Amino acid sequence: MFKLHIIGAGTPTPSPNRFGTCYIAEIGDTLLMFDCGPAATYKMTRMGLWPTRVSHLFFSHHHFDHNADYPCFLLTRWDQSTEDVEPLRVYGPPPTRQVTEALIGESGAFFPDWQARVEHPGSREIYQARGGTLPRRPPAIEVQEIDTGDSVSGGCWKVTGARVKHIEPWMPTLAYRLEVKDTSLVMTSDTGLCPSITDFARGADYLLIHCWDLQARMQPSEAGMITGTQTAAQIAEECGAGQLLLSHLGPKLDRPEDRRTAVEDIEKRFGGAFDFVDELSTLELE
Ligand SMILES: [Zn+2]
């Protein structure tokens, strides 16, 4: 059993209920972050999850609704750390390495920030008051770019990636399958209907799908890059998912009349249990 904290369950369109995507799996003492969308650091802290506790970050792709809080998160995690915190391990498709370098490398946007924190006497005193010892080390991020079939594991968990169909060839996108002992969760990220996601998600206990809108409102070109209510249900049915969780919801899907239509769309095509996930909520997966 493990917990899945829903930090961000929205799209690039901000709304009072949701904005961008970020999920944190809590497995014992381990926190694994999946995507780092807008305000992820602030929202996770509101849920009582402290950034230094996150050991691994997996990016599905680099649309801003999935990565915009990356600089805030990695700098906060570094700034609040003392020597006993391990380097952040970051995984994802290209351009994960390029994005990281462009943030904190020597020509990066935040290089002057961390250099000043490392070198200014006042900043050093603040760091020491937090329990750190000098000399202060620069931010340490270990980046590994991954693709279909690559996996990362630790203790009782394993994360495997698979390419899905989103905005290729501009940027590759990965779905992730998290296995914790006998429990499996597939997070599709943004994808249209494609054989790779159905195969990859086969038999998953939980299937977390990104659902953009009511299918009837979506153009064919949109439906090719991200699921609507009907294609989300179709994927869940075809892969035999135990439970369907719908996230990355466009703001209209929070309107009661549209939610009713969404439920009808899904009930007609998927025989299992399903739910629409809310930000700042926690699911117990077993
Ligand atoms: Zn996207």
pLDDT digits over 123-167, tens only?
A: 999 999 989 999 999 999 999 999 999 999 999 999 999 999 999
- How many angstroms separate the alpha carbon of residue 133 from the centre of ligand 1? 41
- How many angstroms separate the alpha carbon of residue 17 from the centre of ligand 1? 19
Buried b (16+ CB within 10 A) or exposed e, 86-102: eebbbbbbebbeebbee
% of the chain beyond a pLDDT of 90: 96
- How many angstroms separate the alpha carbon of residue 112 from the centre of ligand 1? 30
- How many angstroms separate the alpha carbon of residue 183 from the centre of ligand 1? 27
Per-residue tokens: 178: 């998290």
- How many angstroms separate the alpha carbon of residue 63 from the centre of ligand 1? 5
Domains and CATH numbers, the chain: 2-285 (3.60.15.10)
Average pLDDT over the chain, rounded to an integer: 96
Give the confidence band of 55 by pLDDT, cuts at 50, 70, 90: very high
Helices 229-239 and 256-269, interaxial angle, to 10°? Answer: 30
- How many angstroms separate the alpha carbon of residue 39 from the centre of ligand 1? 17
Give me the pLDDT at residue 219, please. Answer: 93
Under DSSP, is residue 154 helix (H, G, I), strand (E, B) or coil?
A: strand
pLDDT digits (tens, 9 = 90+) for 77-106: 999 998 778 999 999 999 999 999 999 999
Q: Which amino acid is at 158?
A: K
Check pLDDT > 90 for residue 179.
yes
- How many angstroms separate the alpha carbon of residue 72 from the centre of ligand 1? 20
Quick check: 63 and 12 in contact, CB under 8 A? yes
pLDDT digits (tens, 9 = 90+) for 184-242: 999 999 999 999 999 999 999 999 999 999 999 999 998 899 999 999 999 999 999 99
**Per-position DSSP letters for 22-63, written without gaps between them:** EEEEEETTEEEEE---TTHHHHHHHTT--GGGEEEEE-S---
Quick check: 212 and 227 in contact, CB under 8 A? yes
Contacts within 8 Å (CB) and 24+ apart, 165-169: 165/191, 165/192, 165/193, 165/194, 165/196, 165/197, 165/224, 165/225, 166/61, 166/190, 166/191, 166/192, 166/225, 166/226, 167/61, 167/63, 167/225
Give me the pLDDT at residue 85, please. Answer: 85
Give me the pLDDT at residue 83, please. Answer: 77
- How many angstroms separate the alpha carbon of residue 117 from the centre of ligand 1? 34
- How many angstroms separate the alpha carbon of residue 12 from the centre of ligand 1? 9
- How many angstroms separate the alpha carbon of residue 66 from the centre of ligand 1? 7
Check pLDDT > 80 for residue 255.
yes
- How many angstroms separate the alpha carbon of residue 274 from the centre of ligand 1? 23
Residue with tokens 């439920």: 263
Give me the pLDDT at residue 273, please. Answer: 98
Q: In sequence order, what are the beta bridge partners of 178?
A: 159, 185
Q: How big is the chain, counted in residues?
A: 286
The rounded distance, in Å, linking the Cα atoms of 263 and 255 is 12
Give me the pLDDT at residue 232, please. Answer: 97
Lowest mean pLDDT among 10-24, 35-49, 125-139: 125-139
